[in-house]
Amino acid sequence: MNNNAIIKLYGADRCHKTQFYINFLNETELSYEFLDVEINEDHAEELRGLYTNRKLNFPTITIGSKKLRNPKSEELKKWLSKLIPQ
């Protein structure tokens, strides 16, 4: 994975798990895009497209082509560490 991988957080502002990931990602030096699936139907449709059941499974984080559904902190750190130059 390269440094230019795009990080997207699909979630809802009212969701405490989404807020956890926003705070978590804000503590990194990596840029990410927060996509609120409750206020933007385009974001909701993009998220539905990631899952064969077409459900709004949030929070979901994508890092490039890697999809993480409600990951534990350790798993998220592992994938984010691949983006940070050594």
* DSSP tag of 79: H
User: Per CATH, is 7-81 categorized as 3.30.300.30?
Assistant: no
The pTM (predicted TM-score) of the whole model is: 0.90
Per residue in 3-51, pLDDT tens? 457 999 999 999 999 999 999 999 987 899 999 999 999 999 999 999 9
